[in-house]
Amino acid sequence: MPGALVPKPVVLHTADRAREFVRDRRASRQGIALVPTMGNLHEGHLSLARLARAEADVVVATIFVNPTQFGAGEDYESYPRTLDEDLSLLYAAGTVDAVFVPDEGEIYPFGADEAVRVSMPALSRELCGASRPGHFDGVASVVCRLLNIVTPDVMVLGLKDYQQLIVIKRMVADLGIGVRVVSGRTMRDTDGLAISSRNRYLTDEERVRAPLLYAALEKVAGAIRNGDGNYGALQQSAADELRASGFVPDYVEVRRAADLARPNGRQPPDELIVLAAARLGKARLIDNLDLRERELATSDVSAST
């Protein structure tokens, strides 16, 4: 039943084996939840698995570093692959029934370069998509394949990757995929930094400065809540402050939370979200602050690592 601890999860390496696993569970009328990841797991991923456990009888996590969402010069080759540690974390957590760990050929049988792609609408070329052309097409393409293999009733995604969440929801609705998308809150270290696999790229000195990204979002959100409607000036000021602190910002933007459209000035603050992406050393950090949030809930804070 949802919420119960499970035995040691089974590791599945092929699409056929994953489909067989799901068919067996469906024969017992069990609901399936999917938690897609690229591995290098941390408390953020584990929180999504806990949420999935509360939503369905059976939880399938996936670990696959997807080549089609990385652009030229990005960190595909160096992206941390820590399968043994990941499986140990999942075993200890006791919230996952199966872990689907395919190789590239299982996901792209004709090769990633010759694969059928999902082409996403204009939103995928804004914000993170502006500096990572083709990224969200690659994300949508792999998620579509994982949904076809696992056929879950529920898919759990994190709110930290907010644009990804909105883009995937759009794909699910547009293609009529019968899955319910549930979002899990951003997990943070005690100083406010959003937990991310790429945080390990930070040097000790950069790690001290990294929470300034979230602090910049808090400053913009506070000004908007206090009635400042000059979003352009707020965005520019935040970007300038990040630069002065050693960041190289891609963007700081205020958008409508529901669909990431640009606000028209008539939305109340609680319909808005502030998003940012910035490079700090070798790490590209992303974060967001939904203006409905008033403070960090204790359930969303992890001990510093």
Residues with catalytic roles: 45
Residues 246/209, Cβ–Cβ less than 8 Å? yes
Task: Please state whether beta strands 188-189 and 154-158 pair in parallel, antiparallel, or not at all (unpaired).
Answer: unpaired
What are phi and psi for residue 264, nearest 5 degrees? -100, 5
Residues 70/133, Cβ–Cβ less than 8 Å? no
Cβ burial 245-267 (10 Å sphere, 16+ → b, else e): eebebbbbbbbebeebeebeeeb
Give the separation between CA 102 and CA 180, rounded to whole angstroms.
23
Residue (of 191, 139, 149, 185) closest to 14 by Cα position:
149
Bridge partners, 255 (sequence order): 273
Question: Within the chain, what is the greatest distance between any pair of CA atoms?
Answer: 59
Which residue do the tokens 């084996």 mark? 17
3-state secondary structure of 301: strand
How many Cβ atoms sit within 10 Å of the Cβ of residue 28? 8
Radius of gyration of the chain (CA): 19
Q: Which amino acid is at 264?
A: N
The residues, ordered by sequence, that sit 6+ positions from 296 with a Cβ below 8 Å of its Cβ are: 188, 192
Element (H, E) at 130: helix 128-131
Q: Tokens representing 86?
A: 């990941």
